């Protein structure tokens, strides 16, 4: 009898250990390089999911969004963050058929930055200047750059392109004097670092009157208002800044209940997200569900249905 009971206890313990190991399975969060806004965002989400949701998520930095999106689609990482243009392009070209959207986690605002003592004030002033371009590891950023140039009445033919693999290199080339400007998202540590390195930076203004031309290049782009504060480094007065969406996504193999729990944990622990990444102040589960022509993960759709979250327009 004793041996039978002991055998049952051992078997039960083994079963419990197996369940624990399964629940602690490591999940990868593919992001851009350290110093970028998206790496900080991914770090914030991974920290909250691990500490509050008992989901063992680890950050996997990559060279750029053109690299990380295929990683997630191939299940080499379970989660990823990228700007909407990168994701739209990858899905539209049919290269990432297993990619599934969780939703829009916050607006992504970016600017063309110049030195604070530069006479340049608006995008139109970049005519004839050395402008970072190419973005070989973030290929679709060229389209965003073209849209922002178009808002100032310019094209790449009106500037002198400085070819770079990613925004980090673009900022470094600017700091070294190899470029007259750099392109980066607000809120990224690299922007603050560059501001300190060169003795101050200014973001070039984009007029609302230029947005029809910009939308011909990238329809999903829009302007949102920004005012001088520590997040908007380089903004010297209230102005419109170029904006598009930052997307959180996964792949079709991730279980529905895991995706459901990811959204639920983020929504319930927003303060902890913001403590690491201030850009996530604008995160809300109610804003995740937008009219992107990208398949949503069934786990996300179940969450939206359960919480009666209606789909929203992109802009």
Average pLDDT of the segment spanning 203-223: 94
DSSP 234: T
89 touches 219 (CB < 8 A): no
Nearest to 178 by CA among 134, 145, 135, 130: 130
Highest mean pLDDT among 23-37, 85-99, 109-123, 137-151: 109-123
Model pTM score: 0.76
CATH architecture of 2-107+245-306: 3-Layer(aba) Sandwich (3.40)
pLDDT at 252: 96
What is the residue-wise DSSP string for 71-130? HHHTTSSSEEEEEHHHHHHHHHTTS-TTEEEEEEEEEEEEEEEEETTSS--BGGGGTTSE
- Which residues are CB-contacts of 16 (< 8 A; sequence separation ≥ 6)? none
% of the chain residues with pLDDT over 70:
92
Q: Give yes or no for residue 248 having a pLDDT over 70.
A: yes
The ranges assigned to domains in the chain are 2-107+245-306, 109-243
Q: Which of 2-11, 152-161, 253-262, 274-283 has the lowest mean pLDDT?
A: 2-11
Structure confidence at residue 66 (pLDDT): 83
- Whole-number pLDDT of residue 2: 36
Q: Is the pLDDT of residue 278 over 70?
A: yes
pLDDT at 92: 85
pLDDT, one tens digit per residue, over 6-20 is: 333 333 333 333 333
In this prediction, residue 7 carries a pLDDT of: 39
Residue 284: pLDDT band with limits 50, 70, 90: very high
Q: Is 252 helix (H, G, I), strand (E, B) or coil?
A: coil
Longest dimension (CA), the chain: 89
Find the length of the chain: 315
Residue indicated by tokens 């371009």: 133
CATH of domain 109-243: 3.40.190.10
Q: Which residues have a Cβ under 8 Å from the Cβ of 77 and sit 6 or more positions away?
A: 27, 28, 29, 30, 60, 68, 71
Q: Is the Cβ–Cβ distance between 234 and 113 less than 8 Å? A: yes
**What is the residue-averaged pLDDT of the chain?**
90
pLDDT in tens, 44-86: 999 999 999 999 999 999 988 888 999 999 999 999 999 898 8
């Amino acid at each position: 009898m004793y041996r039978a009971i002991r055998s049952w206890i051992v078997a039960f313990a083994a079963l419990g250990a197996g369940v624990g190991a399964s629940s602690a399975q490591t999940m990868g969060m593919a992001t851009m390089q350290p110093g970028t806004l998206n790496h900080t965002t991914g770090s914030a989400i991974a920290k909250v999911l691990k500490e509050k949701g008992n989901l063992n998520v680890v950050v996997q930095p990559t060279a750029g969004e053109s690299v990380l999106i295929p990683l997630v689609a191939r299940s080499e990482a379970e989660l990823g963050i990228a700007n909407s243009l990168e994701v739209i392009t990858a899905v539209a070209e049919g290269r990432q058929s297993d990619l599934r959207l969780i939703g829009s986690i916050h607006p992504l605002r970016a600017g063309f930055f110049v030195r604070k003592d530069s006479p340049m004030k608006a995008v139109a002033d970049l005519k004839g200047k050395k402008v970072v371009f190419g973005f070989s590891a973030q290929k679709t950023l060229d389209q965003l750059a073209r849209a922002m140039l178009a808002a100032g009445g310019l094209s790449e033919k009106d500037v002198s392109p400085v070819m770079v693999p990613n925004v980090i290199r673009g900022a470094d080339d600017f700091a070294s004097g190899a470029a007259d400007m750099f392109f980066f998202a607000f809120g990224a540590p690299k922007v603050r670092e560059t501001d300190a390195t060169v003795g101050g930076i200014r973001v070039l203004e984009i007029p609302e009157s230029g947005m029809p031309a910009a939308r011909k290049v990238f329809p999903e782009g829009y302007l949102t208002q920004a005012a001088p504060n520590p997040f908007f480094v380089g903004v010297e007065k209230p102005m419109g800044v170029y904006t598009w969406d930052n997307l959180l996504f996964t792949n079709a193999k991730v279980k529905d209940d895991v995706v459901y729990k990811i959204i639920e944990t983020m929504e319930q622990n927003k303060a902890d997200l913001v403590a690491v990444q201030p850009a996530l102040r604008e995160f809300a589960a109610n804003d995740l569900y937008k009219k992107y022509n990208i398949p949503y993960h069934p786990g996300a759709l179940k969450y939206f249905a359960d919480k009666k979250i209606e789909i929203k327009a992109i802009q």
